[in-house]
């Protein structure tokens, strides 16, 4: 009996996107934007990678590009013909260019990116995963990351403002103490003070 190729491909796509999600969770632990990618050739994973831009201080260290580098090193060939790359989010313009250059024939991504307003390379067959549930998982992991990042940023700002305010109040209290306690004031002249006190006694 002949297998349904389309059904087999869908099942394979779901499996490999889940593998890419595992990679995305690794980058999440490193406080990186959670994006994961795997490259498959003849049904076997030949490389896995996750985003490492912050860790490596490298603007090109996207999950897809690192995965391509690993795959090329493993196969000892920069041409990755007949390979499929799976990513948790649609690749950016830079990654699409490298994907096309490396001869990868197909791209499957977990969720669309709103920032990708550019013409995709015609040589690359790209498609979103055929699973609304898995698409939601891929989208949520990134959205949750940015929500938490913004929340932490607000908390840090509030904390900084609070610390600055407390410091200003402390400085005011310190200045007030100096004004009332003449002996601690830099402008206090003890000899003049003693002279005035003596003059008052003489008048009495």
Residues identified as active-site: 64
Cβ 65 vs Cβ 31: under 8 Å = no
Please provide the DSSP assignment of 20-72 as one string. Answer: HHHHHHHHHHTTS---EEEEEETTEEEEEEE--HHHHT-TT--HHHHHHHHHH
Q: What is the DSSP code (8-state) at residue 114? A: T
Cβ 120 vs Cβ 69: under 8 Å = no
Segments in 32-189 forming alpha helices (H): 53-56, 63-75, 93-101, 132-180
Strand-pairing partners, residue 39, are 47, 85
Neighbours of 160 (CB within 10 A): 10
Q: What letters, b where the CB count within 10 A reaches 16 and e where it falls short, cover 113-130?
A: eeeeeeebeeebebebbe
Cβ 102 vs Cβ 72: under 8 Å = yes
């Amino acid at each position: 009996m002949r297998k349904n190729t389309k059904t087999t491909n869908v099942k394979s796509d779901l499996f490999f996107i889940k593998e890419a999600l595992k990679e995305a969770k690794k980058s999440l632990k490193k406080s990186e934007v959670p994006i994961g990618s795997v490259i498959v050739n003849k049904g076997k994973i030949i490389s896995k990678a996750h985003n490492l831009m912050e860790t490596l201080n490298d603007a090109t260290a996207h999950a897809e590009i690192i995965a391509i580098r690993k795959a090329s090193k493993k196969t000892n060939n920069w041409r990755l013909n007949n390979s499929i790359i799976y990513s948790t989010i649609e690749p950016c313009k830079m990654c699409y260019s490298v994907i096309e250059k490396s001869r990868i024939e197909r791209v499957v991504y977990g969720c669309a990116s709103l920032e990708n307003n550019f013409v995709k390379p015609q040589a690359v067959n790209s498609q979103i995963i055929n699973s609304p549930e898995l698409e939601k998982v891929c989208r949520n992991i990134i959205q949750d990351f940015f929500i938490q990042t913004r929340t932490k940023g607000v908390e840090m700002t509030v904390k900084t403002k609070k610390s600055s305010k407390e410091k200003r109040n402390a400085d005011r209290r310190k200045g007030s103490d100096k004004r009332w306690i003449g002996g601690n004031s830099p402008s206090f002249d003890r000899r003049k003070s003693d002279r005035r006190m003596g003059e008052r006694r003489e008048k009495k």
